[in-house]
Structures are given as C-alpha cells and as structure tokens.
Amino acid sequence: MLRIWGRLSSINVQKVVWCADELGLAYERIDAGGKFGVNDTPEFLAKNPNGLVPVIEEDGFVLYESNPIVRYLCARAGDDALWPRDLRARADVDRWMEWQSNTFTPATRDAFWQLVRMPAEKRDAALVESSRAKSEKCARILEEHLSRRRFLTGDTFTAADIVVGCTVHRWLNLPLEREPRPHLERYYALVKSRPGSRQVTAQPLS
Ligand SMILES: N[C@@H](CCC(=O)N[C@@H](CS)C(=O)NCC(=O)O)C(=O)O
C-alpha cells in the first residue's frame, strides 16, 4: 500500500494528499513533522536525509520532494488529464507547479507564519507587510491569467491546479486585507468544490 509521511498542515503534504484523493488512490498517511516529530529519527532520515515531509513509500520505493511525488502519482495512475502526455501541455503544468514552489508559496510564507503560527504578541508587522506585498504581485498574475481561462492551463483541471490551489487556499484565508480578485475567487470556488480537495480546503489554516 502507498504510504504518505507528513502532517496535513504542511502545504507540501497537502499537494500530495489532494493529488492522491483526486486520483482515488488507496493510501495510508502517517503524521510526521512539526509537533509530531518523527522526521528527525534515523529511520526517517534514511528515507529523506533533509528531514522534511512529504515522503512517499511503496514496495521499497521511496521518494521525497512534493512536486516530483505529484508527478509520479499521476504517471503511476496512467492519468493523462492531470499530468498530460503532450510535451508542451506537460511543460505548462510543470511551469505552474514550479512557480508555486519557487515564487508564490515563498511570497506568502512570512504572512502565513506570522498570522497563523505565531502568537499575536510576537508578530512582526513589517514581515507581514512585505510578504503581503509580494503575494499581491503573484495574486495579480493569477488574476490576469485566470480572467482568460477556467483553470491554470486551460479548460481542464490538472496537477497545476492542485499545487497552486493549495497556496491559493492559504492566501485567500489569511486574516489580512487583500486586493479584490474576482477571477481568483471564482477559481478558488471551482477547485474547492472538487471532492479531492476536501482534506486541504475544508480545514482552517494551521
Ligand atoms: N522542497 C520540499 C520542501 C519540503 C518542506 O519544506 N517540508 C516542510 C513542511 S512544508 C517540513 O518538512 N518542515 C519540517 C517539519 O514539518 O517538521 C518539497 O517540496 O517537498
């Protein structure tokens, strides 16, 4: 059976869980990281020497790094819709997945940590503000892009929407003032309505 290591509050674990649920895969998830620990044990470090979640394990095959895990799960399921076979369509999906990991999520990180995980008396308003400004730049890119498409890469839902959807969920639920983004809100409602997203989008931020 497929095993997923990682706490559900981790955005990188969320991507993998949403993808597995979207594909209807049977799996077992084991809490690790954050308050659960486990990721500093020799057994876990043997699976991922970085000590980070997620990690998946299946019949002795071990893989870490969330985006490659999502791609592996789609390919393993033979699912061309989530991760297309056509090279250019696939590259488009991959581009948004990397943009989520390298640009959008890092932009939101300080605001998320300060407003969700830090006690109010310890919050740094300047960090929140610079993170908010960087995140708004990303949200503006999404708003413009989604004004002309139903999903990120066109008319159909792909792995790009799972991955970017996790960060959109964070951004739109942070307790701060945001610019109005009707196309992004429309998109969020659409991806959130998918049953596969429930373990991610039905939870408050934590
Ligand atoms: N590039 C990695 C990053 C993994 C990562 O940073 N994981 C964080 C959670 S989002 C982690 O394990 N933090 C330590 C912890 O949870 O204890 C990936 O995409 O999987």
pLDDT digits (tens, 9 = 90+) for 166-181: 999 999 999 999 999 9
Q: What is the pLDDT of residue 25?
A: 98
Q: CA distances (Å), 63 to each of 57, 70, 72, 149, in order?
A: 7, 10, 9, 33
Residue whose C-alpha is closest to residue 54's, from 66, 42, 43: 66
Q: What is the pLDDT of residues 12-62, one digit of tens each?
A: 999 999 999 999 999 999 999 999 999 999 999 999 999 999 999 999 999
Q: What percent of the chain has pLDDT over 70?
A: 100
Q: Do residues 55 and 30 make contact, with C-beta atoms less than 8 angstroms apart? A: no
Q: What is the pLDDT of residue 54?
A: 98
Residue range 117-141: average pLDDT?
98
Residue ranges lining ligand 1, Cβ < 6 Å: 10-12, 33-34, 39, 52-54, 65-66, 101
Residue 33 CA to ligand 1 center (angstroms) comes to 8
Q: What is the pLDDT of residue 36?
A: 98
Q: What is the pLDDT of residue 119?
A: 97
Atom 2 of ligand 1 has which residue's CA nearest to it? 65
Residue 60 CA to ligand 1 center (angstroms) comes to 22
Q: Which ligand 1 atom is nearest residue 52's CA?
A: 12
Residue 62 β-bridge partners: 57
Backbone angles phi, psi at 4, to 5 degrees: -115, 120
From 4, 11, 12, 66, give the residue whose CB has the most ligand 1 atoms within 8 Å, as the site to mutate: 12
From 8, 10, 39, give the residue whose CB has the most ligand 1 atoms within 8 Å, as the site to mutate: 10
Coil, strand or helix: which one is 53?
Answer: coil
CATH of domain 87-196: 1.20.1050.10
Atom 16 of ligand 1 has which residue's CA nearest to it? 33
Q: What is the pLDDT of residues 63-107, one digit of tens each?
A: 999 999 999 999 999 989 999 999 999 999 999 999 999 999 999
Residue 50 CA to ligand 1 center (angstroms) comes to 9
Residue whose C-alpha is closest to residue 83's, from 142, 199, 92: 92
Q: Which CATH superfamily is domain 2-76 in?
A: Glutaredoxin (3.40.30.10)
| Cis check: omega of the bond before 119, within 30 degrees of 0 | no
Give span(s): CATH 3.40.30.10, the chain. Answer: 2-76
Q: Which ligand 1 atom is nearest residue 69's CA?
A: 20
Give span(s): CATH 1.20.1050.10, the chain. Answer: 87-196
Q: Which ligand 1 atom is nearest residue 54's CA?
A: 20
Q: What is the pLDDT of residue 196?
A: 98
Atom 10 of ligand 1 has which residue's CA nearest to it? 10
Count of CB atoms situated within 10 Å of the CB of 45: 12
Angle between helices 182-192 and 125-146 (to 10 degrees): 80
Q: What is the pLDDT of residue 189?
A: 98
- Residue 182's pLDDT band (cuts 50, 70, 90): very high
Q: What percent of the chain has pLDDT over 90?
A: 100
| Alpha-carbon dihedral sign for residues 93, 32, 109, 147 | positive
